Structure 1
Amino acid sequence: MKDLYVRVYLTNMRKYNEGQLIGGWVDVSTDTDWSKELKNFCRIGIGKDDTFGEEYFISDYETNINYLNISEYTTISELENIAEFLEFVNQNYLQDIANELIEAIGDMDIDRLTELLENEKYIYIADAGDDEKLGEYIIENNELYSSLSDDIKRYLDREAIGRDYCINNGGIYQSGNYIELLG
């Protein structure tokens, strides 16, 4: 599992309006001192006695998070929320699950994702990417089927069991896995 990351390119708005692209890359992490970063990149080309105010924007970003969109208007507060999310996910080895939940939700709602992950409000079954594989998993792991002998289990329609379970619980198949949101 690779750690999730986000980097943004902070650009000096004043110099941009004068026709120059001046700024620098900043890692989005809980260790980032945004006041210091803004002073460093927004003063570039202005002169040390000039104030920079809120004269910056984000002109580019890099990430390995599916569906993450950072705009030039993304605030420092939003970047700090993303940094806290990244720290939680990376420290708890939830990178793959986080990316799949993001895909399942269809957007990058940090607050909702954090709640789902912290409170374990999801079911994630690896390698159960279709009805038949999900049905096999259910037959082997669900207590309803545990009392059945292997001879009887052999005759069960795994595909129908998996399909019905997926439909009844609102789950989805994604990247070869099964995901169900509980909240």
Structure 2
Amino acid sequence: MSEEIRIYVACLAAYNNGKLHGVWIDATDDIDDIQDQINEMLKSSPEEDAEEWAMHDYEGYGSYRLSEYEGIQSAHEIACFIEEHGEIAAELLSHFLTIDEAKKAMEENYAGCHESVADFAEELTTGTTEIPESLAFYIDYEKMGRDLELGGDIITIETGYREVHIFWNH
């Protein structure tokens, strides 16, 4: 993902009076810098005494759907996770209920990127078991991979053609 990860923060006083006033902010900036940019936007509002704001849009979060009520701390933490790990992080966030679960999966349960689940099953098998050459042609790695997935042992996330990320489901 090469797209900048950013949020559009709008002044609610202006919005409620039919005016569009807001600013795009890099969500990976320091929290204090983000808050300062929001404060500056509110100060320059066409409405006097503007205090309230909301996130009305975002870019660079991939498949993750950011709520307008997410809050800058959460939007920032999610943006930094996506910036660090790329598209797979956004997919993990969409799969899991919390960022903590997504981080744990990425840091502790990631088994790598493979062309297919069958390739993962073959790598796992040949890396842990010595298979006699006379039996090698009888092993069905497609079925082994399917069993790993259906049995709940692994979680798979496809991010592209022949690009399957595997996570242990612990």
Provide the TM-score with structure 2 as the length reference: 0.76
Aligned to 2:167: 180
Percent sequence identity over aligned pairs: 24
Q: Partner residue of 1:137?
A: 123
Q: Which residue is 1:127 aligned to?
A: 115
Contact kept in structure 1, 2:155 and 2:169, CA below 8 Å: no
Match in the other structure for 2:76: 80
Partner residue, 2:104: 115
Alignment partner of 2:28: what SS?
Answer: coil
In structure 2, relative to structure 1, the CA distance for the partners of 1:181 and 1:100 (3 Å cut) is farther
> Partner of 1:35 in structure 2?
35
Q: Distance in 2 between matches of 1:114 and 1:162?
A: 24
1:107-146 Cα offsets, whole Å, 9 max, x none, are 5x2222123223x2233341124xx4444333332x22x2
2:151 counterpart SS class: helix
SS at match of 1:98: helix
Shift of the 8–139 alpha-carbon distance from structure 1 to 2, 3 Å rule, reads: same
Structure 1: 5+ residue stretches without partners:
none
Counterpart contact for 1:12–1:43, Cα < 8 Å: no
Matched AA of 1:65: G
> Residue 62 of structure 1 aligns with which residue?
59
Residue 67 of structure 2 aligns to a residue whose secondary structure is: coil
**Match status 1:98 vs 2:86:** no
Flag the 1:100–1:84 CA change in 2: closer, same or farther, 3 A: closer
CA–CA separation in structure 2 for the residues paired with 1:153 and 1:8: 53
* In structure 2, distance between residues paired with 1:170 and 1:26: 40
Q: Give the total of aligned pairs.
A: 165
Conserved in 1, the CA contact under 8 Å of 2:121 and 2:144?
yes
Read off the aligned partner of 1:25 and give its amino acid letter: W
- Over 3 Å counting, the alpha-carbon distance change for 1:42 and 1:134 in structure 2 is same
d(CA) in 2 for partners of 1:86 and 1:103? Answer: 12
Letter in 2 for 1:149: P
In 1: Cα distance, 2:56 partner to 2:25 partner? 12
Whether the 8 Å CA contact 1:124–1:178 is kept in 2: the answer is yes
> Using the alignment, how far apart are the partners of 1:83 and 1:96 within structure 2?
11
Unaligned 5+ segments in structure 2 are none
